[in-house]
């Protein structure tokens, strides 16, 4: 037993020694292999001559040598091997542009220990020209005059140079356009580009199978929360009998989703119930949440710290009536507003509204309580958001050192507005215009006569590469039979974030004997501002504002200048400005520098 035990121990020791020796041999082999790896990465400059623009860019993208330069194991052997393949790489890269007789003279030079230069002189040769493009369509669509016209107007003609991307784009557009005619099941049976490099010619062969031509059948709505006729009013521009196409179905879906009544819209043509090539459309609708609540707190330059609450009831009944209640509270100005909306006509654009609002304002110059009850018709007129309204206003107000005055008005008015900015978080071009005119006659539930016109505009112009110029104007005009009874809420003031920066909100305008700003019958302000985007998320700004509110003559113009920053947030621009007054005035000496906060959302 002892003898066998010794043998076992000896075998165990031998096995252990073999493992240890093998480990060291592997380590030595690995070290030797990596010792041969260059300690410094090879650097290769690639130069292509003879071609420019898209051709050169595509050639660089195709060269395998360029793709391998950052590989840590890139070696001189690897370099020479890939250099030999570059000629074919470049030739392949130019074929999509119609060059099939490419010649490349290549040269590889060693400039220093680890620096190389690969030069490729390219002669692209003659362009391949298209001869007799052939487009054949089979099936019911082959005799359709509209299909025949689309094929006849295929943009690639005999003699044109071959460009594969242009051909693919034109072919896909042709198929899409035929599909819009109602041939929703169109198929490509054959699509060939046959190139003869020796003759520099190419033949195009496209063979299509149109399938049946289908049109929209009856719309079946699967839901139980809105009246069907109301739903149909959102899609009245898409009618039964129109061609069945993906574009029409997408337009139908978007029109319903944009109504905000539905959380999902599922549209499915049912070919199994097709009659006379009219396909019924099943539309399954799921309701959006009826109630939406939002709560906010923040700081506004004009009214300072504030809290807000909003409650939207999106669906009061089966005819889409909805309501909106909003309140905003602060120490200077508070508002409570409720609105009831009735969709009419085209409900995506037209509605009747009843708006009730109670507003209070308490500043150094003004103290008022205002109740407004407005009814109106909101609609689109030639792409202008328009409203015609009647408003009952009751206001108790004190301006400066004047005694409290009560005024009652029943006004008729109209508003028109359009905003046209490019869709971007930092738009660089576009414009916006708002106009309102209103008035009342004494005796018709009104204590005084008045007429009031108000206009404001904004223009964005692109400057340099990352800049924009903002031009802003404001004009207001009013005539009244008794200015003392003219409500404070309708008077004009200047100063503040949206007016003449450098002065506080409502700090500029006509004053009483005690130098309190009491507002005026007119206002005129203007602004020029330059914004420059310095990074993906940040913009710097400089501005100059001028203007004033006045009664009879604009006898004094206040101006302010300053600078600021804008942060490009996901919801728009967050703005911070520092404004400096350019006119000294003992009555507003505390307005030496004014800091403004705000944000803008571009829709």
Average pLDDT over residues 406-429: 94
Question: Given pLDDT bands bounded at 50, 70 and 90, which one contains residue 541?
Answer: very high
Average pLDDT over residues 139-143: 94
- 58-82 pLDDT, tens digit per residue, is 999 999 999 888 888 888 899 999 9
Query: Sign of the C-alpha dihedral, residues 78, 83, 89, 93?
Result: positive
- Domain match, 47 and 189 both: no
- Domain match, 369 and 508 both: yes
Q: State the CATH number of the domain containing residue 374.
A: 2.40.160.50
DSSP secondary structure of 3-39: HHHHHHHHHHHHHHHHHHHHHHHHHHHHHHHHHTS-S
- Other Cβ atoms less than 10 A from the Cβ of 3: the count is 7
Answer yes or no: is 87 within a domain.
yes
- Domain match, 114 and 229 both: no
Q: What is the pLDDT of residue 188?
A: 95
Q: What is the pLDDT of residue 424?
A: 87
More confident residue, 528 or 586: 528
- Other Cβ atoms less than 10 A from the Cβ of 248: the count is 20
More confident residue, 351 or 366: 351
Q: What is the pLDDT of residue 36?
A: 43
3-state secondary structure of 510: coil
Say if residue 591's pLDDT is above 70.
no
Say if residue 52's pLDDT is above 90.
yes
Structure-token match 């109602």, residue found: 182
| Whole-number percent of the chain with pLDDT over 70 | 91
Structure-token match 């005009």, residue found: 477
What is the count of structural domains for the chain? 4
Q: Are strands 134-138 and 201-209 parallel, antiparallel or unpaired?
A: parallel
Domain endpoint, select from 75, 108, 123: 123
Q: What is the mean pLDDT of the chain?
A: 90
DSSP secondary structure of 187-248: EEEEEEEEEETTTTEEEEEEEEE-----EEEEEEEE-SSS-HHHHHGGGTTS-TTSBP-HHH
DSSP secondary structure of 568-593: EETTEEEEEEEEEESS--GGGTT-SS
Say if residue 99's pLDDT is above 50.
yes
Answer yes or no: is 165 within a domain.
yes
HSE (CB half, 13 Å, CA atoms) of 298? 12
Q: Indicate the angle between helix axes 164-180 and 145-152, nearest 10 degrees.
A: 170
Tokens matching residue 11 = 């075998």
**For residues 334 and 114, what is the distance between their CA atoms, to the nearest angstrom?**
74
Answer yes or no: is 4 within a domain.
no
- Domain match, 576 and 441 both: yes
- Domain match, 200 and 143 both: yes
Say if residue 17's pLDDT is above 60.
no
Say if residue 589's pLDDT is above 70.
no
Range of the domain at 429: 365-600
- 289-341 pLDDT, tens digit per residue, is 999 999 988 777 777 788 999 999 999 999 999 999 999 999 899 999 999 99
Q: What is the pLDDT of residue 583?
A: 81
Domain endpoint, select from 209, 225, 252: 209
- Domain match, 107 and 159 both: no
8 A C-beta contact, residue 562 and residue 530: no
Distances (CA, A) of 427 to 187, 261, 460, 536, 564: 42, 30, 8, 13, 17
CA angle 48, 54, 55 (to 5 degrees): 45
Q: What is the pLDDT of residue 423?
A: 87
Answer yes or no: is 355 within a domain.
no
Q: What is the pLDDT of residue 153?
A: 95
Q: State the CATH number of the domain containing residue 95.
A: 3.10.20.310
- 456-513 pLDDT, tens digit per residue, is 999 999 998 899 999 999 999 999 999 999 999 999 999 988 899 999 889 999 998 8
Name the helix (H) or strand (E) containing 253: helix 246-257
- Domain match, 86 and 140 both: no
- Domain match, 390 and 274 both: no
Q: Please state the pTM of the whole predicted model.
A: 0.75
**For residues 479 and 454, what is the distance between their CA atoms, to the nearest angstrom?**
12
Domain endpoint, select from 99, 123, 147: 123
Residue 280: φ, ψ to 5° = -60, 145
Tokens matching residue 284 = 């399954």
- Domain match, 240 and 279 both: yes
- Domain match, 97 and 136 both: no
Q: What is the pLDDT of residue 528?
A: 97
Say if residue 427's pLDDT is above 60.
yes
Q: What is the pLDDT of residue 302?
A: 75
Question: Given pLDDT bands bounded at 50, 70 and 90, which one contains residue 11?
Answer: low
Answer yes or no: is 15 within a domain.
no
Answer yes or no: is 67 within a domain.
yes
| Alpha helices by DSSP H, 95-188 | 145-152, 164-180
- Domain match, 520 and 457 both: yes
Residue 44: φ, ψ to 5° = -125, 125
Q: What is the pLDDT of residue 31?
A: 46
More confident residue, 430 or 73: 430
- Domain match, 435 and 553 both: yes
Average pLDDT over residues 404-425: 94
Q: Are strands 304-313 and 291-300 parallel, antiparallel or unpaired?
A: antiparallel
Q: Indicate the angle between helix axes 53-62 and 76-94, nearest 10 degrees.
A: 140
Question: Given pLDDT bands bounded at 50, 70 and 90, which one contains residue 45?
Answer: very high
Q: What is the pLDDT of residue 3?
A: 36
More confident residue, 377 or 576: 377
Q: Are strands 187-196 and 201-209 parallel, antiparallel or unpaired?
A: antiparallel
């Amino acid at each position: 037993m002892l003898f066998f035990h010794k043998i076992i121990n000896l075998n165990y020791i031998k096995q252990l020694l073999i493992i240890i020796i093998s480990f060291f041999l592997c380590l030595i082999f690995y070290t030797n292999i990596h010792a041969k790896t260059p300690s410094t990465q090879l650097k290769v400059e690639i130069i292509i001559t003879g071609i420019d623009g898209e051709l050169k860019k595509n050639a660089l993208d195709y060269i395998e040598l360029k793709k391998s330069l950052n590989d840590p194991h890139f070696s001189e052997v690897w370099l020479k091997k890939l250099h030999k393949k570059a000629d074919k790489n470049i030739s392949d890269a130019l074929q999509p542009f119609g060059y099939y007789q490419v010649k490349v003279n290549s040269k590889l030079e060693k400039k220093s220990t680890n620096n190389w230069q690969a030069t490729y002189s390219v002669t692209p040769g003659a362009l391949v020209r298209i001869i007799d493009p052939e487009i054949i369509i089979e099936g019911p669509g082959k005799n359709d005059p509209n299909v025949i016209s689309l094929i006849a107007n295929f943009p690639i003609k005999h003699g044109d140079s071959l460009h594969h991307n242009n051909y693919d784009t034109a072919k896909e557009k042709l198929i899409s356009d035929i599909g819009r005619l109602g041939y929703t099941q169109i198929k490509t049976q054959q699509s060939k580009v046959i190139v003869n490099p020796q003759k520099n010619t190419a033949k195009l062969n496209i063979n299509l199978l149109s399938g049946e031509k289908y049109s929209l059948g009856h719309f079946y709505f699967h839901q139980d929360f809105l009246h069907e006729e109301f739903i149909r009013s959102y899609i009245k521009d898409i009618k039964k009998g129109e061609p069945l196409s993906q574009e029409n179905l997408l337009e139908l879906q978007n029109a319903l989703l944009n109504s905000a009544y539905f959380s999902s819209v599922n549209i499915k043509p049912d070919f199994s119930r097709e009659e006379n090539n009219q396909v019924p459309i099943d539309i399954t609708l799921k309701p959006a949440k009826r109630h939406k609540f939002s709560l906010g707190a923040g700081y506004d330059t004009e009214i300072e710290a504030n809290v807000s609450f909003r409650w939207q009831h999106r669906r009061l009944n089966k005819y889409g009536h909805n309501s909106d209640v909003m309140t905003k509270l602060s120490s200077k100005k508070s508002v409570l507003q409720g609105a009831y909306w009735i969709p009419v006509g085209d409900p995506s654009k037209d509605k009747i509204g009843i708006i009730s609002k109670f507003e209070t304002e308490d500043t150094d110059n003004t103290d008022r309580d205002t109740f407004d009850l407005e009814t109106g018709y909101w609609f689109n007129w030639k792409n202008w958001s328009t409203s015609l309204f009647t408003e009952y206003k009751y206001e108790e107000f004190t301006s400066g050192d004047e005694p409290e005055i009560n005024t009652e008005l029943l006004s008729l008015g109209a508003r028109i507005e359009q905003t046209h900015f490019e869709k971007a978080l930092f738009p660089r071009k576009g414009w916006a215009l708002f106009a309102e005119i209103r008035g009342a006659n004494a005796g018709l539930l009104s204590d005084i006569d008045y007429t009031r016109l108000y206009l404001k505009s904004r223009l964005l112009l692109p400057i340099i590469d990352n800049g924009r110029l903002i031009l802003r104007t404001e004009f207001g005009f009013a005539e009244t039979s008794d200015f003392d009874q003219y409500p404070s809420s309708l008077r004009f003031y200047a100063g503040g974030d949206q007016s003449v920066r450098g002065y506080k909100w409502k700090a500029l305008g006509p004053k009483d004997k005690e130098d309190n700003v009491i507002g005026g019958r007119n206002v005129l302000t203007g602004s020029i501002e330059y914004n420059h985007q310095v990074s993906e998320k940040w913009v710097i700004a400089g501005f100059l504002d001028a203007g004033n509110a006045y009664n009879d003559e604009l006898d004094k113009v206040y101006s302010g200048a300053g600078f600021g920053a804008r942060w490009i947030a996901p919801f728009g621009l967050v703005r911070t400005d520092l404004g400096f007054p350019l006119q000294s005035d003992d009555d507003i000496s505390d307005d030496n520098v004014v800091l403004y906060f705000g944000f803008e959302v571009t829709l």
